[in-house]
């Protein structure tokens, strides 16, 4: 998947699930703050990413993914 | 001295309507809420009959993070409770500053259990179940969600007493108010309608198979009844001490005079006569009234052969020498199970407030026991000031409430 297509797919899925405007999602924005995730809804993001991309973010990996750009990079690497 | 317990608000979301006005009209018209659900036949159900209840759309009312923990029956209960609180004049400021409790009847929450089990089996990874399932799958899902959404600060728990859950919830709430431990309690009952929740019930041949005529299928007390029809939704009754209601200037709709209860100590699914009779007698004793004070009996009668027969015997035994009209609103709604004890208080209240008794639909021929009761198949236009409502459940749990008009 081309990176731009991947970014658009991630953004669309996250915006729909967490009921945010897609324009709120920018590469350098903090994921938890932008999507208003707490420890519970963070689990839902992991489940959503798995459902959309077949990629499971492990608990030891989630701490390293703070911004959307970091999420895109992580997924680009895994989806390959 | 025991405090008086009054009803100051009601809200309902059922197959008969989504507001008190809609439900009152359906009761008045004798409208059935039963349909045939083709999906159930595809799933292997013996009977595809069910009440039709539309899922409320809470998007735009509650945030995603508030909705995700609510099961189907929680959504119904939210709608019913928001309406009941509004009628009672209980706004968020009041709830924030007083210890209002919640006691709600619920005895299953199947869909989230089934769906999370499917994910566990397929994915072998519990994280992928997501965050909502644990909160959706517990019996207390309704009370845990509503207590957080409405910021309730009093007692907070679920009553699981099978098909008497909603009735016991109101009865137990009344006792807390009588004792002065609570001034106001949000009581009620909720029942999921999804097929997963009743598949195993269908499996024991408890449901009517009169699929060619859904509105004719639920026929409590009729000689040719062949089983119940599952229903659902939610019903909320705000109960309050008389003093609190007067102090707030709240509408006082009725008074809960008596709560009777008993256990059959007998078979898990087959009811007897003695247990229900003792529940009725206890309710009359607690209320301090005689049988002639009761103007209407809302029966538990679910349209099963043995259940209706034994309830008819119990009513005839207790109401010896005087018989008010007896109907089962389940002839219109099907069996609303965990919700029924609460919804039937509201159905009976709507009738009492509007001077009619809704018809016991499909009562065409009595059997030898129902012939001893006064069961109107057509609506009766009549004023009455007190009713008795029965709710019985698996395991032989019985609950009876007596409510007086105010």
* Residue ranges per structural domain of chain A: 3-79
Which structure tokens are listed for B344? 């039937």
Instruction: Give CA separation, B338 vs B92, B129, B172, B270, B394, in Å.
Output: 27, 27, 15, 18, 11
Rounded to a whole number of angstroms, the distance from the CA of B128 to the nearest CA of chain A is: 5
> What CA–CA distance (Å, rounded) separates B214 from B48?
9
Task: Quote the longest CA-to-CA distance of chain A.
Answer: 31
- Would the CATH topology of B5-248 be identical to that of B259-405? yes
Rounded to a whole number of angstroms, the distance from the CA of B135 to the nearest CA of chain A is: 11
- For the stretch B217-257, pLDDT in tens is 999 999 999 999 999 999 999 999 999 999 999 999 999 99
C-beta atoms of B64 and A18 within 8 A:
yes
Q: Could you tell me which residues of chain A have a Cβ less than 8 Å from any Cβ in chain B? A: 17-19, 36, 38, 40-41, 43-44, 46-47, 50-51, 56, 59
pLDDT > 90? residue B1: no
> What CA–CA distance (Å, rounded) separates B180 from B203?
45
Residues of chain A contacting residue B123, judged by C-beta atoms under 8 Å apart: 50
CB of B124 within 8 Å of a chain A CB? The answer is no
> B62, B65, B124, B135: best mutation site toward chain A, by most A Cβ within 10 Å?
B65
Torsion from C-alpha of B357, B359, B360, B363, nearest 10 degrees? 140
The interface predicted TM-score of the complex, written ipTM, equals 0.93
- How far, rounded to the nearest angstrom, does the alpha carbon of residue B380 sit from its chain's CA centroid? 23
Torsion from C-alpha of B331, B333, B339, B343, nearest 10 degrees? -90
Residues of chain B contacting residue A19, judged by C-beta atoms under 8 Å apart: 59, 63-64
Whole-number pLDDT of residue A1: 73
> What CA–CA distance (Å, rounded) separates A48 from A54?
9
Instruction: Report, as residue numbers or ranges, the catalytic residues of B.
Output: 163, 300, 335
The reply to whether CATH 3.40.47.10 applies to domain B5-248 is yes
Residues of chain A contacting residue B132, judged by C-beta atoms under 8 Å apart: 44
- For the stretch B58-90, pLDDT in tens is 999 999 999 999 999 999 999 999 999 999 999
Region class of A27: left (phi > 0), else alpha (psi between -120 and 50), else beta: alpha
Measure CB to CB from residue B128 to each of A18, A38, A50 and give the nearest one: A50
Residue ranges covered by each domain of chain B: 5-248, 259-405
- Please report which confidence band the pLDDT of residue A44 belongs to, taking 50, 70 and 90 as the band edges: very high
- For the stretch B101-143, pLDDT in tens is 999 999 999 999 999 999 999 999 999 999 999 999 999 999 9
- The dihedral built from the CA positions of residue B75, B77, B80 and B81, taken in this order, carries a sign that is negative
> What CA–CA distance (Å, rounded) separates B148 from A2?
44
CB of B64 within 8 Å of a chain A CB? The answer is yes
C-beta atoms of A41 and B131 within 8 A:
yes
Cross-strand partners of B388: B297, B402
> A16, A19, A37: best mutation site toward chain B, by most B Cβ within 10 Å?
A19
Rounded to a whole number of angstroms, the distance from the CA of B132 to the nearest CA of chain A is: 8
Whole-number pLDDT of residue B182: 98
Of the candidates B344, B333, B271, the one whose C-alpha atom is nearest the C-alpha of residue B308 is B271
> What CA–CA distance (Å, rounded) separates B348 from B144?
28
- For the stretch A1-30, pLDDT in tens is 799 999 999 999 999 999 999 999 999 999
Among all residues of chain B, which has the CA nearest to that of A20? B64
CATH number of A3-79: 1.10.1200.10
pLDDT > 80? residue B370: yes
Cross-strand partners of B398: B262, B392
Whole-number pLDDT of residue B303: 98
- Please report which confidence band the pLDDT of residue A80 belongs to, taking 50, 70 and 90 as the band edges: confident
Measure CB to CB from residue A40 to each of B63, B123, B131 and give the nearest one: B131
Q: What average pLDDT is seen over chain B?
A: 98
Instruction: Give CA separation, B60 vs A19, B64, B281, in Å.
Output: 10, 9, 48
Measure CB to CB from residue A56 to each of B125, B129, B130 and give the nearest one: B125
Rounded to a whole number of angstroms, the distance from the CA of A1 to the nearest CA of chain B is: 23
Across the range B391-403, mean pLDDT stands at 98
Is residue B183 within 8 A of residue B99, CB to CB? The reply is: yes
C-beta atoms of B64 and A46 within 8 A:
no
Q: Which CATH superfamily is domain B259-405 in?
A: Thiolase/Chalcone synthase (3.40.47.10)
Share of chain B above pLDDT 70, in %: 100
- For the stretch B144-201, pLDDT in tens is 999 999 999 999 999 999 999 999 999 999 999 999 999 999 999 999 999 999 999 9
pTM value?
Answer: 0.97
b/e map B357-396, b = 16+ CB within 10 Å: bbbbbbbeebbebbebbebebebbeeebebbbbbbbbbbb
- For the stretch B262-280, pLDDT in tens is 999 999 999 999 999 999 9
C-beta atoms of B131 and A43 within 8 A:
yes
Residues of chain A contacting residue B67, judged by C-beta atoms under 8 Å apart: none
Fill in the DSSP letter of residue B370.
Answer: G
> A21, A41, A42, A62: best mutation site toward chain B, by most B Cβ within 10 Å?
A41
Residues of chain B contacting residue A44, judged by C-beta atoms under 8 Å apart: 68, 130-132
Measure CB to CB from residue A47 to each of B59, B63, B128 and give the nearest one: B128
Rounded to a whole number of angstroms, the distance from the CA of B129 to the nearest CA of chain A is: 7
Whole-number pLDDT of residue B51: 98
C-beta atoms of A17 and B132 within 8 A:
no
Across the range B325-348, mean pLDDT stands at 98
Rounded to a whole number of angstroms, the distance from the CA of A46 to the nearest CA of chain B is: 7
């Amino acid at each position: 998947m081309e990176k731009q297509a991947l970014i658009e797919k991630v953004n669309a899925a996250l915006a729909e699930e967490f009921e945010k405007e897609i324009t709120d999602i920018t590469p350098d924005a903090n994921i938890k703050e932008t999507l208003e995730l707490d420890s519970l809804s963070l689990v839902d993001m992991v489940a959503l990413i798995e459902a959309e991309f077949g990629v499971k973010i492990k608990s030891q990996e989630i701490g390293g993914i703070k911004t959307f750009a970091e999420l895109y990079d992580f997924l680009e690497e895994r989806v390959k | 001295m025991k405090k008086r317990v009054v009803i100051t608000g009601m809200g309902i979301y059922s197959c008969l309507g989504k507001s008190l006005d809609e439900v009152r009209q359906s009761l008045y018209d004798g409208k059935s809420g039963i349909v045939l659900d083709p999906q159930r036949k595809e799933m292997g159900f013996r009977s595809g009959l069910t009440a039709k209840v539309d899922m409320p759309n809470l998007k735009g009312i509650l945030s995603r993070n508030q909705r995700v923990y609510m099961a189907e029956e929680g959504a119904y209960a939210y709608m019913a409770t928001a309406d009941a609180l509004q009628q009672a004049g209980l706004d968020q400021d009041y709830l924030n500053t007083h210890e209002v409790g919640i006691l709600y009847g619920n005895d299953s929450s199947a869909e989230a259990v089934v769906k999370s089990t499917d994910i566990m089996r397929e994915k072998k990874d519990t994280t992928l179940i997501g965050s909502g399932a644990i909160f959706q799958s517990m019996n207390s899902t309704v009370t845990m969600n509503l207590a957080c959404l409405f910021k309730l600060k009093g007692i907070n728990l679920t009553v699981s007493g099978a098909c008497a859950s909603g009735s016991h919830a109101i009865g137990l709430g009344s006792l807390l108010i009588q004792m002065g431990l609570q001034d106001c309690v949000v009581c009620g009952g909720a029942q999921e309608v999804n097929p997963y929740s009743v598949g195993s019930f269908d499996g024991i041949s408890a449901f009517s198979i009169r699929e060619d005529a859904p509105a004719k299928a639920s026929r409590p007390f009729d000689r040719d009844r062949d089983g119940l029809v599952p229903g659902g939704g939610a019903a909320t009754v705000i109960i309050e001490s008389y003093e609190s209601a007067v102090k707030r200037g709240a509408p006082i709709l009725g008074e809960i005079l008596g709560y009777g209860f008993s256990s059959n100590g007998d078979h898990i699914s087959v009811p007897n006569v003695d247990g229900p009779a003792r529940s009725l007698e206890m309710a009359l004793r607690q209320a301090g009234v005689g049988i002639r004070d009761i103007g209407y009996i809302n029966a538990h009668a679910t349209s099963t052969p043995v259940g209706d027969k034994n309830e008819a015997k119990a009513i005839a035994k207790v109401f010896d020498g005087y018989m008010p009209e007896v109907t089962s609103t389940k002839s219109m709604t099907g069996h609303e199970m965990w919700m029924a004890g609460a919804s039937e208080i509201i159905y009976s209240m709507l009738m009492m407030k509007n001077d009619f008794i809704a018809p016991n639909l499909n009562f065409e021929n009595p059997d030898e026991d129902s012939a001893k009761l006064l069961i109107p198949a057509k609506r009766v236009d009549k004023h009455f000031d007190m009713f008795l409502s029965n709710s019985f459940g698996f395991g032989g749990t019985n609950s009876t409430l007596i409510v007086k008009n105010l």
